[in-house]
Structure 1
Amino acid sequence: MTKEETGTNGHAAAEEEQKADVVEKTAPQEEGQKEGVAEKTEPKEKTQQQPADVAEKIVYQIEYYFGDYNLPRDKFLQQEIKNDEGWIPLDTMLKFKRLASLSTDKAVIVSALKNSQNTFMEVDESGEKIRRAPTHPLPEQSEEELREKALKRTVYCKGFPKDGSTTLDKLLEFFKQYGPYETIHMRHFYNKEEKRQGFKGSILVVFKTEEKAKEFMEMPQVTYEGSNHLLRKWHADYIEEKKQEIEERRARKEARKKKLEEKHSEEKEALENIEEMDLPRGTFLHFSGLPEGGESTREDVKVALGEDQDKCAWVDYSKGMTEGYLRLKDEDSNKAILEKLNGKIKVNGVEVVLRVVEGQEEDEQLKKMQEARFKARINNSGNKKRKAGGRGGQHFKKRRT
């Protein structure tokens, strides 16, 4: 019993059932945030309450526990009322935290119930037990039917201060002016960083009748504490909006995933089935001997070829590496170049050893070159499509029309 019921305070089992009923099951479980009712214990008001005010709150609280909205959902109370013809000891009721916060004096609770007009609760002769009067039985409806009916008189309101000044007691008092209601749910989220619950600034109000809920919705404007204009929606509409948002996010995510999978599949298939290009052989030279972590670049390696640098098509090397590959333009030219350079070149004053690449090593370099060309072609094709579909493409079309 460490959490406060929404609009009331009760046993933990009752809270869980209440949460299960009102939670927006369609809302995302993103980035430590959950939709639904996650209540926290509100601090007691320090101001002195009048006895009549306390009595009114006690009656309201107990009627909520045993009312048509909560009792069918409260597994704990449902089990308890089977034990003694519906009677519940006040000692048990005082375990409900919110009731206990109003008064722990059983005489005060009994007096409040006995002096209340038109309550459906009754007190036994000993003054130690209470129950819902047998003359006021629960509606014979399934939990699903009760949930559907409650949804039709539930309103979502947003626009309350999130600075901690909005308390459940304030909300209970504020909504009295709009007619009888069964409960108010303050909506919270869990802040993982601060490890505490935070108020979302929105609530659910369950009115006692659909008519009262409709009257509230038809009001031109509802203002809280003078300056906060409340956004109001039927809870059913709010749930549908959330469902739609989730479906749209899911559809976008699936579309991105599918597009990525198709791209990867096309690339993989193309790489697996790529035809051998008519690439010249005898064009690779391997070089080694550069200092590890050195500053030499591909251009430095190419310049080291001297008058033969224009015969070099590509240098496979990154700054800081100790070795790499030279690819020449002309077929079967690597041996002649190697002989001409006496098997070595000087790169930034460092003597580097050259050797001919052939056999399996040459096959691997040709395959690597083949894949690089294919990927470059894929990327260039993608860039052209993006340009055609971007602002430039649209602008070009407009100029032609």
Structure 2
Amino acid sequence: MSSDESQQRRGSYVPIDFTPEVSKQCLKQVEFYFSEFNFPYDKFLRMTAEKNDGWVPIGTIATFNRMKKFRPVEKVVEALRTSKILAVSEDGENVKRIEPLDLEGTKNARHERNKRTVAVMNFPHENVTNMTELQEKMEEFFGKLAQINQVRLRRERGRKFNGTVIVEFKDLPECEKFLKTYSGEDAETLSFEGRKLDVFTKKQFDLQREATRGKNFSGSGQKARSFTGHRKNMPQQEQKDENKEEQKEETSKEEETKVEDKD
């Protein structure tokens, strides 16, 4: 077997029947990669696009964990050609947004998104081995509770899930309704697989992360309980320098994942 044939076999996956529903799922996933919710914070995709006039190889996207099940790649190309926001190159090798995102405007809009974002902590995380499967399970879990835009799983520096999920809701009323239901003194109990979950606003979560900077804040145990009561570790100063805030936001995005590693 030649080296080319060996490489092709290592990168191949079992073909599936591209039904209309499968094609829809495939298109939805790729459109998310290029959306305002992911692309501005995805360094790999941004850098790849910047080097090629906005284009990203479809073969590269096909290697992402949540895309590996969509085979053959030729069918992925066919699905992408039906997109209203993405363009496929004539040779079928690359894809990009039809209308480039205003990255600066998107970053400015993150403050508004944070208002409709919560952190849900204390998920079981000790024995997680398949992040893609967990991601899908979290999307299904929160999708039954409210209308959501995205779900991100936070990881430790060792790349393991740390028990905290960041959820962005479709709009502010949906977020406020969720917070009213599952946070506060008279809140309903929110649980997953028998474990009680803790719900906090994104602002509360970021303040706590700042207060516990440098510690192993895993989203469970004693450090998680420091959210309750008077929050003794909460810093008094809530307004941070804008540049520092942007840097912290980028770091936060790197520690979270909506999709998967792109190794």
User: Matches of 1:115 and 1:224 in 2, distance apart?
Assistant: 40
Unmatched 5+ stretches in structure 2: 1-15, 183-187, 214-230, 236-263
User: Matches of 2:76 and 2:147 in 1, distance apart?
Assistant: 25
One-letter amino acid of the counterpart of residue 218, structure 1? K
Q: Is the CA contact 2:189–2:196 (under 8 Å) kept in the aligned structure 1?
A: yes
Q: Is the CA contact 1:69–1:146 (under 8 Å) kept in the aligned structure 2?
A: no
Q: Is the CA contact 1:69–1:150 (under 8 Å) kept in the aligned structure 2?
A: no
Change beyond 3 A, Cα 1:188–1:76 = closer
* Counterpart selection for 1:219 from 176, 181, 187: 181
* Counterpart selection for 2:49 from 81, 84, 87: 81
* Counterpart selection for 1:152 from 102, 115, 118: 115
Shift in Å, 1:169: 1.9
What residue in structure 2 maps to residue 120 of structure 1?
A: 85
One-letter amino acid of the counterpart of residue 158, structure 1? M
SS of alignment partner, residue 68 of structure 2 = helix
Q: Is the CA contact 2:40–2:103 (under 8 Å) kept in the aligned structure 1?
A: no
What is the 5 A alignment of 1:190-229? 198-220=160-182, 221=188, 223-225=190-192, 227-229=194-196
Shift in Å, 1:158: 1.7
* Counterpart selection for 2:62 from 82, 94, 115: 94
SS of alignment partner, residue 233 of structure 1 = strand
Change beyond 3 A, Cα 1:213–1:99 = same
Change beyond 3 A, Cα 1:126–1:176 = farther
One-letter amino acid of the counterpart of residue 180, structure 2? E
What residue in structure 1 maps to residue 251 of structure 2?
A: none
Shift in Å, 1:244: 4.7
Aligned residues: 193
Change beyond 3 A, Cα 1:138–1:159 = same
Asked whether 1:162 is paired with 2:125, we answer yes
Shift in Å, 1:204: 0.9
Per-residue Cα deviation, 1:262-301 (whole angstroms, up to 9, x for no partner): xxxxxxxxxxxxxxxxxxxxxxxxxxxxxxxxxxxxxxxx
Asked whether 1:65 is paired with 2:65, we answer no
Asked whether 1:138 is paired with 2:105, we answer no
Percent identical pairs in the alignment equals 23
What is the 5 A alignment of 1:336-375? none
User: Matches of 2:34 and 2:163 in 1, distance apart?
Assistant: 28
Change beyond 3 A, Cα 1:87–1:218 = same
Greater displacement, 56-65 / 237-246: 237-246
Per-residue Cα deviation, 1:129-185 (whole angstroms, up to 9, x for no partner): 221122xx4246357524423322321002322343681221122233321313x22
What residue in structure 2 maps to residue 129 of structure 1?
A: 94
User: Matches of 2:43 and 2:125 in 1, distance apart?
Assistant: 32
SS of alignment partner, residue 96 of structure 2 = strand
- Structure whose alpha-carbon radius of gyration is higher: 1
Q: Is the CA contact 2:18–2:75 (under 8 Å) kept in the aligned structure 1?
A: no
Change beyond 3 A, Cα 1:236–1:133 = same
Per-residue Cα deviation, 1:224-280 (whole angstroms, up to 9, x for no partner): 5564443211111122234456796799xxxxxxxxxxxxxxxxxxxxxxxxxxxxx
Change beyond 3 A, Cα 1:139–1:171 = same
Task: Give the TM-score, by structure 2 length.
Answer: 0.57
User: Matches of 2:177 and 2:17 in 1, distance apart?
Assistant: 31
One-letter amino acid of the counterpart of residue 166, structure 2? L
Q: CA RMSD in A?
A: 3.7
User: Matches of 1:158 and 1:126 in 2, distance apart?
Assistant: 46
Q: Is the CA contact 2:190–2:198 (under 8 Å) kept in the aligned structure 1?
A: no
User: Matches of 2:139 and 2:212 in 1, distance apart?
Assistant: 31
Task: Give the TM-score, by structure 1 length.
Answer: 0.40
What is the 5 A alignment of 1:16-95? 51=19, 54-95=22-63
Q: Is the CA contact 2:153–2:164 (under 8 Å) kept in the aligned structure 1?
A: yes
User: Matches of 1:112 and 1:144 in 2, distance apart?
Assistant: 29
User: Matches of 2:191 and 2:80 in 1, distance apart?
Assistant: 31
User: Matches of 2:112 and 2:200 in 1, distance apart?
Assistant: 16
Per-residue Cα deviation, 1:16-47 (whole angstroms, up to 9, x for no partner): xxxxxxxxxxxxxxxxxxxxxxxxxxxxxxxx
